[in-house]
Amino acid sequence: MSRLTDMITNVGLQWIPLIYLFLCTIITGLSNAVALCMMLLSFIEVCAHTGGGILTYFWLRKDGKKTIYHPGFATSWMMFLPAGVYVAVHLEAVTGKDWLWALVLFVIMMMICIVLTETPLKKWVAKQEKGTFAFADAKYYEKYPSFWKK
């Protein structure tokens, strides 16, 4: 990952739901599917950042890491989780067709934001001058010497 690929992934995860919401005005009956797709994204964000925090805790506890905090952890718990719970509580009349469309929309969103972004761009970024798009430093992880060995 690099600053460029992270930026494209994060911007995509902002714009694609808006595009989906626009599609709801053209294709009627898609609104529950879009809401379910965003609910899935919310819950997966919580699981991914919590899992990442747990893994880094086990990897770095000998260096003094005392919590499962991980970059993105607070955002996932304070923003994504409440949003996902809100959608889950307030959705009505969800059908199997809604879930099917939600999964299709989710897969499309992940393909655009992660797979297509990371794979080709990672190769291109690697060919650029060293440091052009790379993370300049480990930021949060600088205080853990073992992080560089993982």
The C-alpha atoms of residue 10 and residue 12 are separated, in whole angstroms, by 5
What pLDDT is attached to residue 99? 93
What pLDDT is attached to residue 126? 65
* Rg (the chain; Cα; Å): 18
Q: How confident is the model at residue 45 (pLDDT cuts 50, 70, 90)?
A: confident
Average pLDDT, the chain: 78
The C-alpha atoms of residue 43 and residue 41 are separated, in whole angstroms, by 6
What pLDDT is attached to residue 23? 75
Which comes out higher in pLDDT, residue 119 or 40? 40
Q: Global pTM?
A: 0.71
